Amino acid sequence: MATVSAVTLRNALCQLQCRLTGVPQHAFGYVGLVSNYCQVRTKKQTKAQYKLEPDWFVNRKNRRQGKALTGDNEDFVQEVIGDTYRNQDSMLKEDPWPRQEYHRNTRRTGVVAIKLGVVPQWTKEGHKFFTTLLQVIDNHVIRYTPPEEFEKTSGWKPWWGQRFGSVVVGAMSSDPRNFSKAYNNLFTEAGVPPKKKLTRFLVTPDAAIQPGTPLTAMHFRAGDHVDVQAKTIDYGFQGVVKRWGMKGMPASHGVTKAHRKMGSTGGGGDKSGIWKGKKMPGHMGDKWRILKGLKIWRINTKYNVLYVQGPNIPGNTHGVVRIYDTILRYKRPAPDNHPPMPTWAEEDSQQGVELEYFDENLHVMSEASVSYSQ
Amino acid sequence: MLRFRIRTRPRKMASLEGLGSGPEGRLKRLRKHVTALIRHERLETTYAQCDETRGYAEKLITMAVRNGDRDKHTMEMADYWLLEKDLIHKLFKVLVPRYQSLPATATSIHRISTEYPGDGRHMGVLELKGNPWPPVRPQPRNTRLHLHNIQLEEAKKEYHQERLRAKSAAAAVPPEGSSVDGPAGSSVDPDPIDSESESGESKNSGDSSKR
Amino acid sequence: MALLAHVARGCSRIPKLQLEAALSVRFQSTLSHNDTKARRARELRPRRNYLLNDEVEQHRKSLLQQSPEVEEIPVQQAEANVPRDFRHVMPEFLPDPNPLYRDRVTEKLERMDMYRRRTCIDIPEFYVGSIMAVTMADHHAPGKQSRFVGICIQRSGTGLRADFTLRNVIDGQGVEVRFDMYGASLQKIEVLKLEQRLDDELFYLRDAAQEYSTIPFDFEPVPLPKGATVPVNSTKVKLNPRPWLERWERHELKGVEDLNLPEKKYRRARQVAKPWERWDLMKRQRESINEDEEESIMKETYMETESTRRARGRQKASLKKTR
């Protein structure tokens, strides 16, 4: 109820402003939004629930203790593991799946990356801005489930019907001895070493990818827009001053024991009681957050690094992030100029892969300084 | 350069030299620990204090090895951190030659059992390597003659032989694209592992019940 | 043999039935009814949602990974005669020592960018206390360029964020401008007088008479004789009477005349001083890059920048003499 009334009020005010000033409504959209901002007091936060992984997850850890190997034998085992997984391409058991056309509603898979750090870059106009370096670290497609099967196995009836299948992507290969056998067997279909991180993306069937396909930074192009999803920094249990930015109370003037407290929790009469969504101390951070429509300014193909717009990607350095094509309508790639389908393959770069790709508006460091014409 | 992982932030340990002694008191107490460590080459106290002391002792020894006794800054530091001045000679004359070519840390740290009944503090031992005391931990067992190691040695021989055979076979037959597969292709063929008796005694054999 | 079997099985083509059997392993809960409270809490505790630097480095070095390893900086003994104080000449090449922000790939990529930028624009050697002129592209200036002359009062930032601050007095008003060293619209950096002061930051010039920081815009460049070290300007600045922007008696300033304060102020300064920090070896360790790493980075920097220096025909870095 509260939401509806706020929105209608805002629209009404916006229309009124338009009528008074004779300016088209879209020009006032933003102004109206700011001036009529109404805070909706409902329970938005869900309580952080620390649960075990669901029943259908295989047990991941190898709980059996390893036997002590001599140095030579340890080297030998590592040699075998290395030989086993070295030649990735030969692990694709079938012929590559045919590539399909990109459509307006196509949704491709995403990639898993780690956050490396924040560095400034400059545009061709000489403006400074910050980018975050995201390294697509050792990604492979582990499994593809077509929509018909995915609808049945997801455990609930998806509202999207049979629009999406799912792709499981793994990142960071590691020693198979660290994991349980059941977990290692998840990777037999793809023929890759067991991965430390697994994640799932919803894809349309025309963007299906064969298991075992490597995903690199070339999955995206410089200039594309992506959504980035990651867990925010875990601050633990925090008070209201840090968690919600409340002011607390003065250091002196008779204040006792209330310097960082939140003060009143509500009024009396009709509005009595503590309302749902009241900002209180509690667990802060460690929540999934999405940043939408971030531009990729630059790609380094050697280290598989994407330079993504903005200094505020959630999480710590070396946090794990999910990157996929943006869902924002006006920033999605156009069908006539689309990214590689379903992902980049070597045949896409006939002239060979360059070390770096830049957005056209980015000032490249090896070019002359920006200067303005008279 | 320190060769072990250090904590991002130091432990404050504010009341080591009595309540309210602050960061200065912390250094005073650590100074005693460092002196004792260099003197006796082994130190037993709480794990937290061992860990804090370790950084300072290591840093001091690293500086001494790196800069020698002619460096003014190193000498000042040795003078501050070693309360008994004959230990300065020990640092430069005994410890520096001992750790000069050691490609590892000069100290080692161990957790030891908590006293019971007692105050429940986690105790630790910090020691200089190459000390004359009997070792804190027992010598690791030699596992070379254990069954799994013997089996692995045999497997290693077989593996390398098979690899050689594959190579010679590839050299004999003119390549037709198949030789690109490399030696790994034949080696990973799970021929020798079919017998179920082997999986029973394998290292990760807990799944055998499931089959 | 058995272990080999296990390893080899990881990639062998397992029949589909067997695969399904493996996937349908019944989940064995790690918790049971007779667990202690502490163990239950440990199992349910939220996990760290990021990787440690060591884990990432370990993965980069592992044989199984796909992306190329960041190669160590090659140590070439023939060219290894890096001047001893080279880190004072190019301090911005040393990364931020805070372990929360360290990453070898970022630092490497950042340094590559800096070398590239240095081939396009001449960024000369300068120190805090040098008199400099900076030309910037400017939309609003006549001729679309503006030139600012001043004394460098601070250098800060590392990597591409490196910047420096110039101070001058214009029409009786103190003006300070902060420039990005690697900014795209920077046209030219000139060092009009290469020298250094007794302090690492000259913010006390804000509380001094204006003539100390007044530099005419037509300041004639003062060339340094060939092979000379950087001279130290040992001017002692006389500060204005209080109030000041900061309590300067609490900073250990060398380039300031006697402050003439009441004894109370000095006593308080002595009380809040932290003389023991000088002996805190681990504090120093945490706040700086370790020697080996510094050496290798400086070696790379020296080798990379030497070629551009030679191409420009510029004089060899006249090194800062450590004070």
Q: Compute the average pLDDT of residues B136-140.
A: 88
What is the rounded average pLDDT for all residues in chain C?
84
Amino acid at B92: F
In this predicted structure, the answer to whether residue B198 has a pLDDT above a threshold of 50 is: no
Is residue C29 predicted with pLDDT exceeding 70?
no
Asked whether the beta carbons of A194 and A183 are under 8 A apart, the reply is yes
**A&C contacts, CB < 8 Å:** 202
CATH topology of domain C125-259: SH3 type barrels. (2.30.30)
- Whole-number Å distance between alpha carbons of C197 and C153: 10
pLDDT at residue B201 greater than cutoff 70:
no
Residue B203 is predicted with a pLDDT of 37
Alpha-carbon distances, residue B188 vs B184, C5, C8, C184 (angstroms):
6, 9, 5, 54
- Does position A45 have pLDDT exceeding 90, yes or no? no
pLDDT tens, position by position, C164-184? 999 999 999 999 999 999 999
| Cis peptide upstream of residue C275 (ω within 30 degrees of 0) | no
Distances in whole angstroms, Cα of residue B211 to Cα of each of B200, B206, B207, C25: 11, 10, 7, 11
What does the pLDDT read at residue B210? 34
Helices (H) then strands (E): counts for chain C:
9, 5
More confident call, A342 vs B184: A342
The residue extents of the domains of chain C are 70-121+289-312, 125-259
**pLDDT for residue C236 is more than 90:** yes
When pLDDT is averaged across residues C271-294 and rounded to a whole number, the result is 93
Of residues B199, B150, B200, B160, the one with CA closest to residue B183: B160
| pLDDT at residue C203 in the model | 97
Q: Using one digit for the tens of pLDDT, what is the confidence trace for A8-31?
A: 554 554 454 545 544 444 444 444
Q: What is the mean pLDDT of residues A278-300?
A: 93
Looking from the CA of C301 toward its CB, the CA atoms found within 13 Å total 26
Read off the pLDDT of residues A148-162 as tens digits, 9 standing for 90 and up: 998 887 677 888 889
Mean pLDDT of C133-151: 95
Q: Which tokens in the block code for residue C165?
A: 């601050």
Band of pLDDT at residue A271, cut at 50, 70 and 90: confident
3-state DSSP call for residue A144?
strand
Q: Flag whether residue A138 sits within 8 Å of chain C, measured between CB atoms.
A: yes
State how far residue B204 is from chain A, nearest Cα, in angstroms.
7
Contact between chains at A64 and B155 (C-beta distance less than 8 A): no
Burial class of residue C38 (count of CB atoms within 10 Å of its CB; 0-12, 13-18, 19+):
exposed
**Mean confidence (pLDDT) of chain A:** 85
Search chain C and give the residue with CA nearest B77. C279
What are the pLDDT digits (tens) for B34-69?
Answer: 999 999 999 999 999 999 999 999 999 999 999 999
Cα–Cα distance, C104 to C289 (Å, whole number) = 13
In one letter, which amino acid is C155? R
In one letter, which amino acid is C106? T
User: Which residues on chain C are in Cβ contact (under 8 Å) with B30?
Assistant: none
CB < 8 Å to B27, chain C:
276, 279-280
pLDDT digits (tens, 9 = 90+) for C44-69: 777 788 999 989 988 988 888 776 66
C-beta atoms of C4 and B59 within 8 A: no
Enumerate the domain spans of chain A.
2-35, 71-234+285-358
Q: Which residues of A touch B (CB under 8 A)?
A: 62, 64, 66-70, 72-73, 76-77, 80, 83-84, 86-87, 90, 177, 181-182
Q: What is the pLDDT of residues A181-209, one digit of tens each?
A: 999 999 988 889 999 999 999 999 999 99
- According to the model, what pLDDT value does residue B204 have? 38
Question: What are the residues whose beta carbons fall under 8 Å from the beta carbon of B148, sequence distance 6 or more?
Answer: A67, A69, B203, C2, C3
Top mean pLDDT of A264-268, B17-21, B22-26, B74-78 is at B74-78
Give the residue with greater pLDDT, A166 vs B175.
A166
Hey, which bits of C19-144 come out as E strands?
131-137
Q: Are A305 and A135 in contact (CB under 8 A)?
A: yes
pLDDT at A101 over 80: yes
Q: List subunits contacting chain C, requiring 3 or more Cβ pairs under 8 Å.
A: A, B
Confidence of residue C73 (pLDDT cuts 50, 70, 90): low
Query: pLDDT at position C292, please?
Result: 86
Please tell me if residue A303 touches chain C, with a CB cutoff of 8 Å.
yes
Whole-number pLDDT of residue C37? 79
> Per DSSP, what are the bridge partners of residue A284?
A236
What is residue B182's predicted lDDT score, i.e. its pLDDT?
36
The predicted-structure confidence for C86-138, as pLDDT tens digits, reads as follows 889 999 999 999 999 999 999 999 999 999 999 999 999 999 999 999 999 99
pLDDT of residue B64: 96
pLDDT at site C5: 46
Structure confidence at residue C14 as a pLDDT band (50, 70, 90)? very low
Contact criterion met (CB < 8 Å) for A70 and B207:
no
**Helix or strand or coil: residue A296?**
strand
Higher pLDDT, C163 or C303: C163
Tokens linked to A138: 């050792």
Over range B174-199, report the average pLDDT: 39
pLDDT-based confidence at residue B118 (cuts at 50, 70, 90): confident
pLDDT at B45: 94
pLDDT of A261 over the 90 cut: yes
Q: Are B127 and B36 in contact (CB under 8 A)?
A: no
CA-CA-CA-CA torsion sign (A110, A116, A118, A124) = negative
Q: Which of residues 99-128 of A touch C (CB under 8 A)?
A: 114-117, 119-124, 126, 128
Does residue A176 carry a pLDDT above 60?
yes
How does DSSP assign A319-337, residue by residue? BEEEEEE---GGGSPPTTS
pLDDT at site A90: 46
What single-letter DSSP state applies at residue A231? E
Predicted confidence (pLDDT) at residue A276 exceeds the cutoff of 80: yes
The per-residue pLDDT for A330 is: 93
Which of chain C's residues have a Cβ under 8 Å away from the Cβ of B154? 1
Which tokens belong to A173?
A: 């290969």
Percent of chain A with pLDDT over 90: 57
pLDDT at A95: 77
Which position has the higher pLDDT, B199 or B123?
Answer: B123
Sign (positive/negative) of CA torsion B36, B37, B39, B41?
A: positive
According to CATH, the topology of domain A71-234+285-358 is Elongation Factor Tu (Ef-tu); domain 3 (2.40.30)
State how far Cα A235 lies from the chain centre: 20
Interface test with A, best of B8, B139, B146, B149 (most A CBs within 10 A): B149
Q: What is the DSSP letter of C104?
A: H
Read off the pLDDT of each residue in B106-127 and give the average, rounded to a whole number.
92
Q: What is the pLDDT of residues A111-167, one digit of tens each?
A: 999 999 999 999 999 999 999 999 999 999 999 999 999 888 767 788 888 999 999
Binary contact (B27, C12; C-beta < 8 A):
no
Window from A282-296, B115-129, C34-48, C182-196 with minimum mean pLDDT? C34-48
Work out the minimum CA distance from B64 to partner chain A, whole angstroms: 33
The confidence band for A34, taking pLDDT boundaries of 50, 70 and 90, is very low
> What number is the average pLDDT over the span C185-207?
95
